[in-house]
Amino acid sequence: MKPTKFAFAAGSLIFALVTPAIARLAVATITVVLGLLLYWAQAEPTAVIGTVEQSRTSAAGGALMAISPAWPTASTEVVSLDPSLVSEVPPQPGDHVIVFGQVQAVNPNEHLRLSEILRGEQIGILPVGSYLQDTTTSDLKGRVATSNRWFVTALAIGMALFARICMRLSASAIFAGVTVLVSFLLLHLGARDGLLPVPDALFEPVMLGTAVAGAVLAFKASIGDRWRIGERFAAVVLTQLLAPALFDVGPVPEHLSLPLTVLAVLFPVLVPVSIASAMLTIALDLEPHLGWMTLGGLLVLRHLASLASGKGRSAAGSSSFHPEVNEHGEFKLDNLVPDGKGFDR
């Protein structure tokens, strides 16, 4: 069986067999494991986990990287790599890396104002930097403007009407990335310590499988979640990622970044509705004040659709069967047929 088929088959089994309560426990466990790994890397001087900020290749074929650790309070670290550790494509800005090595003292100079750097001996690279650059949201305006306006309009209205489903799917996609990062770190830690002897050729299939499993677990965990934790988390992430694009469109003033984040936590459905409003503003070439009116109209449309859906469920749930019984508490089976026709007709 191909790795992709195996991954999606495993995802189907997880969705069918794992209950929402167990899925929420699994999601919480994976999140805690990621936090512990990042804290360990921050406290361990011979290891660093983070994102490449800058990367320079030396004339000898080695590389010098500035890495921003994933732990919030940690400062940028400089890592040097020997030519033997640098592949044909060196780490690019935005790539996630895990580096093991030894601290080496250096003489500060005008080019390097540090007293020590980490000399890398092993490195694992999750090459997502180029992908993030290709899918950047800074060109959202141009991409939407060149698309079919009727398709964009239909997509925007669909996003507004099914905002909660959009947020649940977004939370699943984001948590899939979290599980990939956790599996990436554990695989390289296991390879270094010999605790998890997985061949290098299986790293990608394993990470693909964990991505599918993470997405399924996150979606299953959102079922019956009254606190809507996944949706709120996804709303914050999307707000931070898409805020520059929304500011570029015009309807959203830049100084409202923090209030928008707070509103996203309180009302996660505002995020897909705001994105839909921005898409309509671009596709229909509307003025900024009309963009605000479009946002209000989509919110009203969603509210009306929610009310109609709620009334439909209430009407369906209120219908009940009240049979006519005799003095013995018995009723005829013919009474089950609403049009009065018996079973013998």
What's the pTM value of the predicted model, to 2 decimals? 0.84
324 Cβ contact partners less than 8 Å away, ≥ 6 residues apart: 331, 335
What pLDDT score was predicted for residue 209?
92
* Of residues 311, 231, 308, the one with CA closest to residue 272: 231
Q: Which of 2-16, 60-74, 323-337 tops mean pLDDT? A: 60-74
Task: Give the separation between CA 98 and CA 100, rounded to whole angstroms.
Answer: 7
Q: For residue 330, report the phi and psi dihedrals to the nearest 5 degrees.
A: -100, 155
What pLDDT score was predicted for residue 327?
65
Residue 213 in this model has a pLDDT that exceeds 80: yes
**Residue 339, CA atoms < 13 Å, CB-side half-sphere:** 3
What pLDDT score was predicted for residue 137?
47
Structure tokens at 41: 């890397």
CB 63 within 8 A of CB 91: yes
CATH architecture entry for 3-127:
Beta Barrel (2.40)
Q: Please report, as a single letter, which amino acid is at residue 210.
A: T
- Tell me: the pLDDT tens digits for 7-43? 888 888 888 899 999 999 999 999 999 999 999 999 9
Task: Give the separation between CA 21 and CA 23, rounded to whole angstroms.
Answer: 5
**pLDDT-based confidence at residue 278 (cuts at 50, 70, 90):** confident
Task: List, in sequence order, the alpha helices (H) in the chain.
Answer: 3-17, 20-43, 129-134, 140-145, 149-161, 163-193, 203-221, 229-249, 257-266, 270-283, 288-318
Domain ranges of the chain: 3-127, 136-312
**pLDDT-based confidence at residue 139 (cuts at 50, 70, 90):** low
- Tell me: the pLDDT tens digits for 294-307? 888 998 988 887 78
CB 174 within 8 A of CB 234: yes
What pLDDT score was predicted for residue 153?
93
Residue 151 in this model has a pLDDT that exceeds 90: yes
What pLDDT score was predicted for residue 342?
46
- Tell me: the pLDDT tens digits for 175-201? 999 999 999 999 999 888 777 778 888
**H or E element that contains 51:** strand 47-57
- 102: three-class secondary structure by DSSP: strand
Average pLDDT estimate for 65-94: 87
Residue 344 in this model has a pLDDT that exceeds 50: no
What pLDDT score was predicted for residue 164?
92
Average pLDDT estimate for 115-127: 90
What pLDDT score was predicted for residue 128?
87
In whole angstroms, how far apart are CA 177 and each of 52, 127, 174?
A: 17, 13, 5
**Residue 296, CA atoms < 13 Å, CB-side half-sphere:** 6
